[in-house]
Amino acid sequence: MIIGSVSENQKIEKRISITPEIAKKYISIGFEVHLSKNYGIHLGISDEEFKNLGVKFFDDENEVINRSNIIVQLGLLPEDKCSLIKENKTLIGVLNPFDNKEKLDKLKHNKINLFSLELLPRITRAQSMDILSSQANLAGYKAVIESFAYFEKAIPMMMTAAGTIPAAKILVVGAGVAGLQAIATAKRMGGIVFATDVRMASKEQVESLGGKFLTVEGAENLETEGGYAKEASDEFKKKQEELLSETLKKIDIVICTALIPGKKAPVIIKEDMINNMQAGSVIYDLAAIQGGNTAFTKADEIIEKNGVKIMGETNILNKLPVSASSLYAKNMFNFVENLFDKENKKLNVNLEDEIIEKTLIK
């Protein structure tokens, strides 16, 4: 049984799906590992490092795709590469079925097994495979670091003979995995942290990290059974706007993380709110790739409105590719191991297993 991976388009994706540590694990459970030449070179991982573990390399990416029973990637391969995947082979990655429906339908028609890891159920057994959590954790941390780099004042309170510099006030919008890591990072660096979320279960988590949870009066708990945020009612949105509008007047840095799976990001910070913020404030929008949580967000651009800098990137994890690859590769291995029948050295697509059933694109 061969598991393979080819290089991503590094202009948009620097992460890799198989690290040397994980290649060793695949080999230990009975896989052959095939990779394309210079697979991890951009991360400082030489082909020799992989070869010493027993990994085979090919100059031609197409050969890796042709030979592999399972292909593991970050995203969906380009169309010319997808066309090389043979019947009964398996492709695993973040396949984004909402945007790639047509391409995935074509692959399904060709009898290719497709597993999209962002569809994993939020259950205890799936935690070790949860790519959304592992990657969001790093994204929340990096968003804080990036926003602090653009903020032209000190973050912690500093008492000096010349006077006192007050601590920066940080607001985190959305207290999921990315938001909670943003709160923890901002707090560690000496900021005064506030947070808001439509899920009332977040209050305790925010407060345990030293943040102050902003509660909308008469708040409803907007959480799906799967643990994700769902869309708020118009009445809730109005109350949330009023609370945010007042809060933002005193805030220095905002980290936006609010996303609804498969939908455009909700616009939470409106134009009039930004106009009332202090000049010199910074907003980092982690929802930029899905349209953004502010009225002005543009992915990969820094927009300045009324002295407020608003920024967000298509892929912030390209700034932490080594750490992000390490976690993603571990998540991927745990998923493949659950799918693999070690005794018979073949895949076992057991649809009674909730993890397999939910991630298989039907």
Q: pLDDT tens for residues 239-266?
A: 888 899 999 999 999 999 998 877 889 9
Tell me the C-alpha distance between 111 and 357, whole Å. 16
**Between residues 341 and 311, the one the model is more confident about:** 311
User: Could you tell me the pLDDT band of residue 220, with boundaries at 50, 70 and 90?
Assistant: low
Residues 6 or more apart in contact with residue 77 via CB below 8 angstroms:
6, 65, 71, 85, 91
Q: Is 68 a catalytic residue?
A: no
Structure token digits, residue 203: 């209050």
> What confidence score (pLDDT) does residue 249 get?
96
**Eight-class DSSP state of 85:** P
> In the predicted model, is pLDDT for residue 221 greater than 60?
no
Q: Which of 10, 127, 208, 233 is catalytic?
A: 127
Each residue's pLDDT tens digit, 124-168? 999 999 999 999 999 999 999 999 999 999 999 999 999 999 999
Q: Is 26 a catalytic residue?
A: no
> What confidence score (pLDDT) does residue 127 get?
95
Q: Which of 5, 7, 68, 133 is catalytic?
A: 133
pTM of the model: 0.90
Q: Is 228 a catalytic residue?
A: yes
User: Could you tell me the pLDDT band of residue 98, with boundaries at 50, 70 and 90?
Assistant: confident
Q: Which of 5, 17, 68, 130 is catalytic?
A: 130
> In the predicted model, is pLDDT for residue 227 greater than 70?
no
Mean pLDDT of 325-341: 96
> What confidence score (pLDDT) does residue 200 get?
83
> In the predicted model, is pLDDT for residue 286 greater than 70?
yes
User: Could you tell me the pLDDT band of residue 225, with boundaries at 50, 70 and 90?
Assistant: low
Q: Is 67 a catalytic residue?
A: no
**Eight-class DSSP state of 4:** E
Residue whose tokens read 């892929």: 315
Tell me the C-alpha distance between 137 and 315, whole Å. 14
Q: Is 278 a catalytic residue?
A: no
> In the predicted model, is pLDDT for residue 273 greater than 90?
yes
* Span of 59-73, 106-120, 208-222, 301-315 with lowest mean pLDDT: 208-222
Instruction: Name which CATH class applies to 2-119+321-359.
Output: alpha beta
Q: Which of 128, 228, 278, 353 is catalytic?
A: 228
Strand partners, 193: 170
| Rounded percentage of the chain residues whose pLDDT exceeds 70 | 96
> In the predicted model, is pLDDT for residue 229 greater than 80?
no
Mean pLDDT of 194-218: 89
**Between residues 276 and 225, the one the model is more confident about:** 276
Query: Which residues of the chain form CATH 3.40.50.720?
Result: 2-119+321-359, 133-318
CATH code for the part of the protein at 133-318: 3.40.50.720
